Amino acid sequence: MVQTLTVLGLESSCDDTAAAVVRQTDGGRAEVLSSIVHGQTELHSAFGGVVPEIAARAHAEKLDTCVMQALEAAGLILADMDAIAVTAGPGLIGGVMSGVMCAKGLSAATGLPLIGVNHLAGHALTPRLTDGISFPYLMLLVSGGHCQYLIAHGPEQFTRLGGTIDDAPGEAFDKTARLLGLPQPGGPTVEVEARSGDPKRFRFPRPLLDRPGCDLSFSGLKTALMRMRDQIVAEKGGLTRQDRADLCAGFQQAIVDTLAEKTRRAMDLYLKENPSNAVIAVAGGVAANSAIRSALETVCAEKGARFTAPPLALCTDNAAMIAYAGLERFRAGARDGLDLTARPRWPLDQNSPAMLGSGKKGAKA
């Protein structure tokens, strides 16, 4: 029997308060009926990073408005929903709790089923929402809070091939921008500077390339950059525009080369097991970087694989991905009770948990 499901999703695990409505007719493509995101950048800008207590309070204050806006934009009411999906982790615990409490309240008041969603599963399943990709596929999550290679086998079955052992790449871009006095978020500003720079003038390390496997490390890049910057300042009394552009270009090229090589390795591992479904999907804010994107596309072409990246609004944190991941769980029969707990850490692959310390925006996974 064809069953149309409509799910309300809530997201509040970091610094975006979001609500969305997603609908799917069984066997058909899912549709985003609405997706509302209220960012908190200005609340945290004076502190140089996300302040968990400020984030949690802002989520608690904004979530109900967000839900109302998402329903209104979809032209629906709560009674039209089949379930309520909410990010139950991993993330900054105060924010995750705000979302879970809000979803529990809505579920208790309406009798609608509650579905807890892993935030990373939301990102990892987005290519199914946007491109209708079938399992299995290889996934690279690359943002300010995450960096990992995953094989998606099913809505709740993931194998983690590797990931960062310290900073996420977006975090490295943000720190680099801070060290060079460029505005936040650092990714886009460093990318623009890098365009007029010489990537060969400064030699940045390519961390972990000398070791087998798909793990990555980015924290050494900012230390290298800081040393180079300090040396120029000591020699010349300050940085010229060209110095800054060359530093950005060298730094970005190190990230490009590292991600390209590790993606090549992840693809080889994936293709060995799944030769007939040669697909890699990329999600996360860093996927917006055109140098990184084109390097990944080149690797895909080398391997004869299809490359796909969701539109940026669904690549970065949003609630449509949570509603969609909840919808997949719901269709598979999953239900959570009012005892659903918020989890600061929640690795997607229980057999291969992420290294401690990965990601800036709190304990991601």
Interface with ligand KG4 (CB under 6 A): 14, 143-145, 170-171, 173-174, 185-188, 191, 284-286, 288-289, 316-317, 361
Please choose which of ligand KG4, Zn ion, none residue 60 contacts, taking the beta carbon within 5 to 8 angstroms, the exact cut-off set by kind.
Answer: none
Residue 339 CB partners (closer than 8 Å, separation 6+): none
Check residue 11 for interaction with Zn ion (CB under 5 A): no
Which residue carries 């309300």 as its tokens?
8
CB of 16 to ligand KG4, least distance (A): 7
Check residue 16 for interaction with Zn ion (CB under 5 A): no
Please choose which of Zn ion, ligand KG4, none residue 344 contacts, taking the beta carbon within 5 to 8 angstroms, the exact cut-off set by kind.
Answer: none
Extract the runs of DSSP E, i.e. beta strands, from 99-144.
114-118, 137-142
- SS3 (DSSP) at 355: coil
Nearer to ligand KG4, 66 or 114 (CB): 66
Within a 10 A sphere around the Cβ of 287, how many other Cβ atoms? 21
CB of 32 to ligand KG4, least distance (A): 17
Nearer to ligand KG4, 323 or 365 (CB): 365
Near Zn ion by CB under 5 A: residue from 166, 167, 193, 317: 317
Distance (Å, whole) CA 148 – CA 335: 28
Cβ contact 153:144 at 8 Å: no
- Nearest by Cα to 260 from 233, 229, 291: 291
Nearer to Zn ion, 237 or 311 (CB): 311
Residue 194 CA to its chain's centroid (Å): 23
DSSP 80: G
CB of 253 to ligand KG4, least distance (A): 13
Nearer to Zn ion, 16 or 193 (CB): 16
Residue 61 CB partners (closer than 8 Å, separation 6+): none
The pair of three-digit structure tokens given for residue 267, joined into one six-digit string:
């693809």
Please choose which of ligand KG4, Zn ion, none residue 185 contacts, taking the beta carbon within 5 to 8 angstroms, the exact cut-off set by kind.
Answer: ligand KG4
Stretch that binds Zn ion, among 55-63, 92-100, 295-303, 309-317 (CB under 5 A): 309-317
Nearer to ligand KG4, 107 or 189 (CB): 189
Give Cα separations from 342 to 218, 235, 320 (angstroms): 29, 51, 19
CB of 90 to Zn ion, least distance (A): 10
Distance (Å, whole) CA 85 – CA 53: 23
Nearer to ligand KG4, 188 or 344 (CB): 188
Nearer to ligand KG4, 6 or 118 (CB): 118
- Nearest by Cα to 126 from 333, 296, 281: 281
- The residue of the chain with the least Cβ separation from ligand KG4 equals 187
Which residue carries 């097991």 as its tokens?
273
Check residue 15 for interaction with Zn ion (CB under 5 A): no
CB of 146 to Zn ion, least distance (A): 6
Please choose which of Zn ion, ligand KG4, none residue 316 contacts, taking the beta carbon within 5 to 8 angstroms, the exact cut-off set by kind.
Answer: ligand KG4
Nearer to ligand KG4, 50 or 85 (CB): 50
Cβ contact 208:216 at 8 Å: yes
Q: In the Cβ-directed half-sphere of 274, how many Cα atoms lie within 13 Å?
A: 18
Please choose which of Zn ion, ligand KG4, none residue 186 contacts, taking the beta carbon within 5 to 8 angstroms, the exact cut-off set by kind.
Answer: ligand KG4
Stretch that binds Zn ion, among 99-107, 228-236, 249-257, 313-321 (CB under 5 A): 313-321
CA angle 242, 246, 250 (to 5 degrees): 175
Q: What are phi and psi of 163, to 5 degrees?
A: -175, -175
Please choose which of ligand KG4, Zn ion, none residue 74 contacts, taking the beta carbon within 5 to 8 angstroms, the exact cut-off set by kind.
Answer: none
> Which positions lie near Zn ion, rule CB under 5 A?
317
